[in-house]
Chain A
Amino acid sequence: MSRRARFVWFWLATTLIVAFSPVASLAAGESIGGKLIQTVGEEKSPVEGVTIVVSLEGAEVGSGESIADGTWEIPVPGSGIYQVRLDTTTLPDGIGLTDPTKEELDEVTVREGQAKKVIFPLGEGTVSSTSAYERVGALLISGLKLGAIIALCAVGLSLVYGVTGLVNFAHAEMVTLGAVAAYFFHASPAGPEWPLVIAAIPAILVGAGFGWAQEQGLWKPLRIRNTGLIAMMVVSIGLSFAVRHIILIIFGGEPRAYPDFAGQPPIEILGISVVPKNLITIGVALLVLAAVGLFLQKSRAGTAMRAVSDDADLAESSGIDVNRVILITWMLAGGLAALGGIFFGLNEAVQWDMGFSLLLLIFAAVVLGGLGTAYGAMVGGFVVGVAVEMSTLFVPNELKTAVGLAVLILMLLVRPQGLFGTKERIG
């Protein structure tokens, strides 16, 4: 092969890597891999989504996540002695290393061309639900927890839709931004390292500020230009895509956990073992949602919001400052989404695309309750959360998001205006 030809091949390969980076990493060559299996008594089950980091002389050379069947594989640059570390913060609740000192294996020798296998034995960290009652109870709790998070995020999306008619696809990034901001104030060495409970306050303000900035800098000027709704939705998805990747550049691709409340030991309630932070998530979310409900019913701004949502022109002619109401709605939506994001990060992990992965469930909740209805979005959130978690009794865990889509499509077929919506909204 001539140099030119080799060059062309090299170029071909790099273009493909650029275009489809996850594919190329599976190419042959030296690698370290294994299979994560949790053993509880006689039962063995694969563990998904656990991050494993490979380093060479202290410098990270690669990382990967275990997939659905528990396997993981990380390509390494060549033969040598590597350190392999299992990121214990990414272990699901209730699963731990059988030998906690074996978090890092520091002399893993890889020969030329070898696909080295290493083992991290996993056992029950603390929990093992075995009876059907315990299993259903635990799923119900985690469903309510997921539902609380979805509901917090969905209310804002629905309110914004109500007052502006726009489905904001960048809502997912408000969720991520809240979680990432909380991480900055809480755990980043560059930040003030406040406790999470305190760090949540500026993070929510950052979320509200993002909502304010979006409305003032983008959506209001577009409304003044009379931009069509389809064009606005395209703009919102462009914004979502840009912000998501800016977060990726700044925050990095690794999932990270908040140090506070990590690895909380579960407590037992009515025979069901529950991690206290799940209960706190549900409780705080319910309080906040009740406060939002009161705000909408009793306060002047809330009443104005509902009026604009009903009929913007009529509201304007009766003296309501519509632009101000829309601005308040955006800030409220941003703050609620940020709070939802913090809870999501607390219970799972903070990651650059966490909001996008939640977006489908948020949409399902909003459509279920009825686009534009705040209370519908709350109820929809809890229904979707519980339905998705409970569905794992019947479908494999990795397909549970598909249940969200099924709920969405079924609802559109049966009652497109949603549980609480009115007919004229839909079309």
Chain B
Amino acid sequence: MDWGSVFIDGILATIGPVTAAYAISAIGLNLQFGYAGLLNFGHVAFMLVGAYGMAITVDFGGPLWLGVIVGVIVAAFLGFLLGLPTLRLRADYLAITTIAAAEVIRLVARSSWAEPLTNGVFGIQGFADSFFSINPFPPAELYGIGSLVVTGRKLWVMIVGWTIAALLTLLIRRLINSPWGRVLKAIREDEDATTSLGKNVFAYKLQALMIGGAIGGIAGMLLAIEQQNVTPDAYLPQVTFILYVIVILGGAGTILGPIVGAVVFQFLFFTIDALMVNTQANIDWVGDLLTPAAAGQVKLVLVGIGMMVLMVFRPQGILGSREEALIDER
């Protein structure tokens, strides 16, 4: 196995559009989990409804910009629907409801009942032509240095994706340093104290859930645009848990945490996968023990273990400070 090319591939995966989408989604989750202390275990649902909102709008003849607006609105509205019954209650209820809703929404999207809208398991394709038609780079041309090259098509998605990630990071910094953000952090630290200061805790939490959800919707749309394809099974529960690892790894409740986390995570994820596939193929006893498919699952086991180990031993992640990371005593 050529480790030089694996390394190049790892770098390309790390700066690619999928990482940008994960970073954006993690920004939304970080607002909910890192700043407001909300346990949203179904973040992938926001990405799904965002992507479908856009794809269905375009499918029914709307322009792409309208689809993007619809996607953002439905994602925020999902936050409203899930937050309304749960945010007055203990943190557990939001976690239970979101994890359940994420699976149900995916099952509904792939059901034949919803087929007129979602096209079932086959999904919707080819809705982002107008996005690629304004691509200033010739799509088949190669750009880059040395062996680090991407096509013009991909470069365009990358630039747009990382620009959105940067803008959202600035937006979050603005929000968190505003009075609104300070109240949010106060709620995370001590909900009762914040209530006693006359703040409407429920409204703040609901707003955080909706804004974070809308950002998740944007990430879902970016993923869908990149592939020109939206299918329900691209939004499996594992996406949510990958996002948790990203947020905790980068530092929950830090401005740059989601971006740092996404980049580091994607590099590790890719390298570990390449390593496992290589080991499976070349070392006999590992090859006997694991099928190629099973070797591909090892990285997901590591996602789960990473989530536990990080939360226990380094809840502040790479960037966070210890004091801020001791979320909740409730």
Contacts and interface: CB of A to CB of B under 8 A. Distances in A.
Given A19-B18, A241-B304, A396-B112, A409 B96 contact: no
Given A22-B233, A222-B312, A360-B103, A399 B108 contact: yes
Interface stretch (A31-39, A110-118, A223-231, A373-381): A223-231
A405 B311 contact: no
B142 A371 contact: no
A405 to B, nearest CB: 5
Interface stretch (B67-75, B160-168, B321-329): B321-329
Contacts of B197: none
Contact of B92 (A11, A26, A245, A371): A371
B307 A238 contact: yes
B100 A408 contact: yes
Contacts of A357: 103
Interface stretch (B49-57, B144-152, B177-185): B144-152
Interface stretch (A99-107, A246-254, A300-308, A320-328): A246-254
Contact of B16 (A15, A242, A371, A426): A15
Interface stretch (A1-9, A185-193, A257-265): A1-9
B297 A399 contact: no
Interface string B240-261: 0100100010000000000000
B46 interface: no
Interface residues of A, number: 69
A363 B100 contact: yes
A243 interface: yes
Given A241-B241, A249-B290, A402-B108, A2 B301 contact: no
Interface stretch (B58-66, B83-91, B127-135, B211-219): B83-91
Most central of A8, A16, A26, A248 by chain B CB within 10 Å: A8
Given A228-B328, A242-B305, A248-B297, 10 more contacts: A18-B273, A20-B234, A167-B96, A230-B328, A233-B39, A240-B304, A242-B301, A412-B89, A416-B89, A427-B88
B175 interface: no
A409 B212 CA distance: 21
Contacts of B99: 169, 237, 359-360, 363
B137 interface: no
Contacts of A405: 97, 100-101, 104
A70 to B, nearest CB: 9
Contacts of B298: 249
Interface of A: 1-2, 4-5, 8-9, 11-12, 15-16, 18-23, 26, 67-69, 167, 169, 222, 225, 227-231, 233-235, 237-246, 248-249, 252-253, 356-357, 359-360, 363-364, 367, 371, 396, 398-399, 401-402, 404-405, 408-409, 412-413, 416, 425-427
B104 A360 contact: yes
Given A238-B311, A396-B112, A401 B151 contact: no
B89 A167 contact: no
Nearest to B230: A23
A228 B326 contact: yes
B271 to A, nearest CB: 12
B17 to A, nearest CB: 10
B149 A4 contact: yes
Nearest to B153: A12
A228 B151 contact: no
21 contacts: A5-B151, A15-B18, A167-B92, A228-B327, A228-B328, A229-B92, A230-B37, A230-B91, A230-B328, A231-B311, A233-B39, A234-B248, A234-B311, A238-B306, A241-B303, A245-B301, A359-B100, A399-B108, A401-B104, A405-B104, A408-B100
A160 to B, nearest CB: 12
B227 interface: yes
A367 B297 contact: no
Given A5-B151, A18-B273, A245-B301, A412 B86 contact: yes
B7 interface: no
Given A20-B234, A22-B233, A427-B89, A8 B142 contact: yes
Contacts of B121: 26, 67
A68 B273 CA distance: 33
A116 B19 CA distance: 38
A79 B191 CA distance: 64
Interface in B92-115: 92-93, 95-97, 99-101, 103-104, 107-108, 110-113
B144 to A, nearest CB: 9
Nearest to B300: A245
For the complex of A and B, list the 8 residue pairs with the smallest distance between their C-beta atoms, beginning with the closest. A242-B304, A238-B307, A241-B304, A22-B233, A238-B308, A412-B85, A360-B100, A249-B294
A122 to B, nearest CB: 18
Contacts of B120: 67-69
Contact of A230 (B39, B229, B241): B39
B91 A246 contact: no
A233 B33 CA distance: 12
A225 to B, nearest CB: 8
B315 interface: yes
A412 B97 contact: yes
Most central of A8, A16, A234, A363 by chain B CB within 10 Å: A234
Contacts of B294: 248-249, 252
Contact of B233 (A20, A228, A238, A413): A20
